[in-house]
Amino acid sequence: MAAGYSRQSGGTAASQVPLSAPATERRTPPIMRKLLFTLLLLTTSLPGFAALQASVDRTQLVEQQPLELTLESTLAKRTDQPDLSPLETHFQIESSRKLNLVSTINGRSLPVTRWVIHLLPLRTGYVVIPPLELAGERSEPVTLHVLTQTQASDISPTDIAPIFIDSELDTHTPYVQAQVLLTLRIYHSVSLYDDSTLSGLEIPDARVEALGAPKTYERDINGVVHGVIEVRYAIYPQHSGVLDIPSQLFSATAVQSRSTASQSGSHNARFIQLRSPSQQLQVKPIPESYPAGVPWLPARQVRLSQNWQPDPSGELTRGEPLTRTLSIQADGLTAMQLPELNTLADDQDELRQYSDQPQLENQLSSTGVLGLRQESSAVVARHAGRHIVPAIRVPWWNTTTDQLETSELDAVTLNIRGNNSFNDTSNTYTGPPPAELPVLWPWQLATVLLLAALTWALVKLHGARRALTALDELGEDTVSLDTDEPGNPLADLQTACRHNQPAEARKALEHWAKQQESDLIALSHAHPILADALDDLNGCLFGQTEHAWRGKPLWRAVRKVTQARQRETEALGENAIEPLYPDV
């Protein structure tokens, strides 16, 4: 069975997570053994589905060493309490606490009541935790082996418990919403069948992220090779104060040696259940020295970066869009915890910003979560001159050094020139004095006439090229369209056509058509140039064309339609007619 793993959220239970032992420890019994094992598993697994389950975090311990007993019930009411009096014969009850959880079993969500009881054995040897009763249900007995100090010192490696669980936290005093790494390691010196599972981690008032699939490897302990199944979680406490991390139930079928199986008179398979130790966190609140009104970012490292296309240090043309990409990544935070980096206000007059949806990504590793947030936007300068894009400063709390730090991106200066600036420079040549002018021969006169004709042709050609350029540029109109006025649909249409954004162009086009007291169908019938541009736009939007949409033909068509309607209005001479754009 391949190792599997499922993501869980705080306060929400998940079904059991299948685990797998190292490949060297798997064994496939013969057909008859499979049948016997299936029958044995059915009979030995019945207690796991009882209404009241009892499990411990270890079955072998040394005297004066406490252990943790966990009782779980799916039928108990909130007022029900288990009868713990049978434990007082061989155990001292040190503490007991109750947890109300929700568990998912076979796709159904069921309420689960859990009691965690800390016990101290009063005698050594083999001690049995007797069956306990709750709401008419009885738990199964659990057998413990309590060693004396002498036995523990003389114990041989082969007498170590064949299966045990180790639980490790990277910190016991985290800040609220900071990452805590929990590592569970299941050690086993006996082979396990591929049916091992680990119950889901359920922590109220905390978010839980599973850090990948379980890892399996081997480790030598006192000369005995143990297989290790390692599971890691990232825990994010949502409130300050005490946070309990409950134990997890490990269930598996262990392979017994032939001698052990023959002595006990049982089969060579033994169903076991073992719990990991429960732990507590002392969650600290946000420090008073942290700036007020800014997002709380407790992390090991926060990095900022930005990228511009084209290079903002060169000279740029008014109306030319610049693509700006801002990135923030935090070691120890999820992408949803990272703040927005936009520094340009939507109503800024000099610079306009058109932002895309931010890209969020969580990279999971054995060291925790690395959150990434990337924001891309188009920045357009409306006027020529020198514009400054403000610096970005992000305060954050370094959980490694326990102090406030700030990550920063410097301000960027944009030098914008007008898109119609064209300066003709000519050098004036002053020839020799008239007295020194040589006599013009016929070939010289022909050359001068030819040069004059060539100069005149070049001037005409340059004028025609400028006229064509002015006709093709989206931002230059022969008729004032008031595209800089806020709320004018033509302004939005011009921007969408300049950036080749078909969806935004369609919205602005429909808004403009409504202001003409008409609709797009009627306008396209009256103006064929608009009909052609509209067909190209619709074909791009609805996937009927494979080429990229260009907004220049649509803007040229709308401009010609607008000019034609203005000329018609002037020809009629109706001064009482309302203006074409009442909303502008």
Query: What does the block give as tokens for 554?
Result: 């649509």
Average per-residue pLDDT for the chain: 77
Confidence of residue 215 (pLDDT cuts 50, 70, 90): very high
**Residue 413 in this model has a pLDDT that exceeds 80:** yes
The one-character DSSP state at 192 is B
Helix (H, G, I), strand (E, B) or coil at 303: strand
Which tokens in the block code for residue 30? 């013969």
Helices (H), 477-551: 489-498, 502-515, 520-526, 528-541
- Decide: 297 and 395 in contact? Cβ < 8 Å: yes
Confidence (pLDDT) at 98: 86
> Contact, 382 vs 351, CB < 8 A?
yes
527 in Cβ contact with 563 (< 8 Å): no
DSSP at 175:
B
pLDDT tens per residue, range 474-507: 444 444 555 555 567 888 888 888 888 888 888 8
Residue 69 CB contacts under 8 Å (≥ 6 apart), including other chains: 54, 55, 56, 87, 116, 117, 118, 119, 129, 142
| Strand positions, DSSP E, 222-358 | 224-237, 241-245, 249-255, 269-275, 279-283, 298-299, 301-309, 315-317, 322-331, 351-355
pLDDT value for 421: 45
Query: How does pLDDT run across 234-281, given as a tens digit for each residue?
Result: 999 999 999 999 888 888 888 866 554 444 444 567 788 888 888 899
| 510 Cβ contact list (under 8 Å, min separation 6) | 520
For each of the domains in the chain, give its residue range(s) and CATH number, in order of start: 52-154 (2.60.40), 163-256+269-283 (2.60.40.740), 298-417 (2.60.40), 489-571 (no CATH)
* Amino acid sitting at position 399: T
Mark out the alpha helices in 14-115 (DSSP H runs): 31-44
Contact 96, 120 (CB under 8 A): no
The helix (H) or strand (E) run that includes residue 552 is: helix 552-572
pLDDT exceeds cutoff 90 at 399: yes
Residues 345, 310 contacting (CB under 8 angstroms): no
Average pLDDT, integer, range 145-157? 74
- pLDDT number for residue 78: 77
pLDDT at residue 521 greater than cutoff 70: yes
**Which of 99-108, 242-251, 313-322, 477-486: highest mean pLDDT?**
242-251
Residue 261 has a pLDDT of: 46
pLDDT for 154-176, tens place per residue? Answer: 665 555 678 888 889 999 999 99
Query: Which residue in 542, 409, 559, 411 sits closest to 477, CA to CA?
Result: 559
End-to-end CA distance of the chain: 69
Strands (E), 106-162: 108-121, 125-129, 133-134, 137-138, 142-147
Chain centroid offset of residue 232 CA: 19
**What is this structure's pTM?**
0.53
- Evaluate whether 178 touches 238 at the Cβ level (below 8 Å): no
Instruction: State percent of the chain over pLDDT 70.
Output: 75
Enter the tokens of residue 64: 């004066």
Classify the C-alpha dihedral 230-236-240-246 as positive or negative.
negative
Q: So what's the pLDDT on residue 345?
A: 65
The pLDDT assigned to 396 comes to: 96
Residue 174 carries which DSSP code?
A: P
* 123: three-class secondary structure by DSSP: coil
Which residue type is seen at 50?
A
Residue found by looking up tokens 């100069």 in the block: 455
In 340-488, which ranges are continuous DSSP H helix?
442-472
Spatial separation of the C-alpha atoms in residues 319 and 419, rounded to whole Å: 8
Do residues 232 and 182 lie in contact, with contact meaning Cβ atoms separated by under 8 Å? Answer: yes
Closest CA to 341 of 332, 330, 349: 330
Q: Are 196 and 26 in contact (CB under 8 A)?
A: no
Q: 43-92 pLDDT, tens per residue?
A: 443 334 446 888 887 788 888 888 888 888 888 887 888 889 999 988 99
Helix 552-572 and helix 442-472, axial crossing angle in degrees, nearest 10:
90
- Asked if residue 178 has pLDDT above 90, the reply is yes
Could you give the 3-state DSSP secondary structure of residue 255?
Answer: strand
pLDDT of residue 155: 63
**Residue 305 to residue 374: CA distance in whole angstroms:** 10
Residue 580 sits at the vertex; the CA angle it makes with 524 and 321, to the nearest 5 degrees, is 75
CB 523 within 8 A of CB 560: no
Q: How far apart are CA 296 and CA 359, in angstroms?
A: 20
> pLDDT tens for residues 337-394?
999 987 776 556 678 888 888 999 999 988 899 999 999 988 888 788 888 888 899 9
Residue 348 is predicted with a pLDDT of: 63
The C-alpha atoms of residue 373 and residue 52 are separated, in whole angstroms, by 46
The predicted-structure confidence for 271-306, as pLDDT tens digits, reads as follows: 888 888 888 999 999 999 999 989 999 999 999 999
SS3 23: helix
